[in-house]
Amino acid sequence: MLKNVGIIGYGVYIPSFRLSVGEVASYWGKNPQDVENSLGVLEKAIPGADEDAVTMGVEAGLNALKMAKISPADLEVVYVGSESHPYAVNPSATIIAEALGVGRNYLAADLEFACKAGTAGLENVAGLLEAKLVNYGLVIGTDAAQAKPHDALEYTAGTGAAAFILGRNRAKFVARILAFNSYSSDTPDFWRRDGIAYPSHQGRFTGEPAYFKHVLGAAKQLLQKTKLKPQDFAYCVFHMPNGKFPLEAAKRLGFKKEQIEPSLVSEKSAIPILLRLYSA
């Protein structure tokens, strides 16, 4: 269990542009309502012509600094996790840190690990804080939508950024981080080779052997490590590649729908559909 690590500020940025699932479905000759009901998603955010993972990361970082009420120069770590770094060689972390005014005395690193690079950054900064090697660290998860035309990801791969500033001063904590657990394997359900414009995935293989095996495996180990049970939590939040997967994960682990409902980021009009599925 971690003793002195917490979030002291966070910020998000989501572009204003939207692409509806129904519009994509209609273009490919599919029934929009069938696709919406299948995914539990009605629309996704897409980047403007002048937006990418770096610009969104800057905006999220600025919002996190406003909440944390610290100087950018106080940051000693900047990690940026993404599947869509603008440069193959030239770190997003240093571009973002420069724009934020961090200075020069900081550790910078770009992380890439489909869907969990930002989470890996949080764990790394938490370790540095617990070891008292740093006082403040910034972690950003940011992605611009990437999807091959006429692919399932075209409906759900969205755009946005979230930034978290972690520290050791309990008086500043917005939320304390008690523990974390990692569950990793070489499961090639999702990939993009160098020079290829769009990621590929193994369709339904991304469900049971990928999402559920890892999310449930990590969650069960975390509950065992902390000696906690689902009923000990007010809310639970799970990775949401579509509307159905997090609900199914919560149900299998023993969480009630009231615990998972506030975390659903699907448009509100899609949530009743999802909750009916949860009760089925």
C-beta of residue 141 within 8 angstroms of C-beta of residue 161? yes
Residue 203 gets which letter from DSSP?
A: G
User: Of residues 23, 150, 239, 258, which has the active-site annotation?
Assistant: 239
Map out the domains of the chain with their CATH numbers.
Answer: 6-175 (3.40.47.10), 201-279 (no CATH)
pLDDT at 276: 60
Catalytic residue among 98, 115, 123, 267: 115
Does 115 participate in catalysis according to the annotation?
yes
Burial class (CB in 10 A: 0-12, 13-18, 19+), 94: middle
Question: Which listed residue (36, 43, 59, 83) is catalytic?
Answer: 83
Based on the residue annotation, tell me whether 239 is a catalytic residue of this protein: yes
| Predicted TM-score of the model (pTM) | 0.92
Cβ(137)–Cβ(79) under 8 Å? yes
Alpha-carbon gap, residue 213 to 177, rounded angstroms: 24
With DSSP H G I counted as helix, E B as strand and the rest as coil, what are the percentages for the chain, rounded to 5? 40, 15, 40
Segments of the chain scoring below 50 in pLDDT? 269
pLDDT at 273: 55
pLDDT 10s digits, 156-182:
889 999 999 999 999 999 999 999 999
Phi, psi of 226 (to 5 degrees): -90, -10
Q: What is the largest CA-CA distance in the chain?
A: 57
